[in-house]
Amino acid sequence: DTEVTQTPKHLVMGMTNKKSLKCEQHMGHRAMYWYKQKAKKPPELMFVYSYEKLSINESVPSRFSPECPNSSLLNLHLHALQPEDSALYLCASSHRAGGSNEQFFGPGTRLTVL
């Protein structure tokens, strides 16, 4: 299995809702990432987990809350989002923490906040 899966593919939520995005990989990778991508823009790094510990938090608002239950799973909990948070949320994983190594991306969850 050489892919990163993300669910759901699409999500529409109101500003008072609580929802979660899920990401899974079974490649034995020990680093996992969340990126946010607005239309016609590059992916922007949000969070990095290395060996299930949060290693990079790019000053993301607290309405986004990451969680790494185990080395194969990564969640992003959403609460009280704003319309400007509408974007494609990408999950990625890489073989090991630190150094230079390829990141494998999932297809993303397209989020719309009404």
Partner 1 sequence: GESVGLHLPTLSVQEGDNSIINCAYSNSASDYFIWYKQESGKGPQFIIDIRSNMDKRQGQRVTVLLNKTVKHLSLQIAATQPGDSAVYFCAENKGNNDMRFGAGTRLTVKP
Contact region with partner 1 (CB under 8 A), list: 11-19, 65-73, 76-84, 96-104 = 96-104
| Strand ranges in the chain using DSSP code E only, listed in sequence order | 4-7, 10-13, 18-25, 31-37, 44-50, 53-57, 64-70, 73-79, 87-94, 103-105, 109-113
First to last CA, the chain: 36
Among 11, 81, 106, 111, indicate the residue that binds partner 1 (CB under 8 A).
106
Q: Tell me: does residue 56 bind partner 1 (CB under 8 A).
A: yes
Residue 4 CA from chain centroid, whole number: 11
Q: Tell me: does residue 108 bind partner 1 (CB under 8 A).
A: yes
Is the CB of 66 or the CB of 106 nearer to partner 1?
Answer: 106
Residues near partner 1, by CB under 8 A: 4, 31, 33, 40-45, 48, 50, 55-56, 90, 92, 94, 97-100, 102-108
